[in-house]
Structure 1
Amino acid sequence: MKKFKLKEPYPTSDGRCSIFEKDGKVSCIITFRAIETHGKIETIGLVVHEVLHVWQEVLLNMGETKPSPEFESYSVMAITQNILEEMERAGKFKL
């Protein structure tokens, strides 16, 4: 969290979605601890778990209470792909 100059301590859980608001804008940061110690399936499960927290925050900020199943599925898929791509780019995960 120091990289982003945030006062919140680095999470001590395997995965965490931290939500910050500043000037009316919301940001979600997903962090993982020792992700390389987990298997691929467990890692993907952990990513999806944290992505759903991001998605819940998106819905809250949109004021959306009943998204269509297709909209929700595509949105969760897009967020998950983005996180996995970033993890792969950072050398933290390889499919």
Structure 2
Amino acid sequence: MRNESDDAPVIIDTSMRNIAAEWNQDGSVLSVCGILIDFNTSKESNQVNFYSPFGHLIRTLKVPGNEISSLSWEGKSLRIAMAVDSFIYFANIRLQFRATINAIN
């Protein structure tokens, strides 16, 4: 939502059982952690999905372990910490930037 009276909020279907969600420092990336359930094999897996502010999936990170319980961004949004079982996993986050080349005539 852009504000508390937004008539057209962005709705994201993560297709998983959501545990926690956090915005990065400048609000450009939303990370949602949860448990993905494969109904064909009844297998559960932990994952973190990264979304743009408009709801587009940027990247998916699969995390080992039985159950993810939380996540948190580091102060400058360069790392993310995830609590899984009795462990804390850290991941470095690097954004990809597209280089623009201007042709000189």
TM-score with structure 2 setting the length = 0.24
Which structure shows the higher strand fraction? 2
Q: Is the helix fraction higher in 1 or 2?
A: 1
**Structure with more relative contact order (C-alpha pairs < 8 Å, separation 6 or more):** 1
Larger gyration radius, structure 1 or structure 2: 2
TM-score (ref. length: structure 1): 0.26
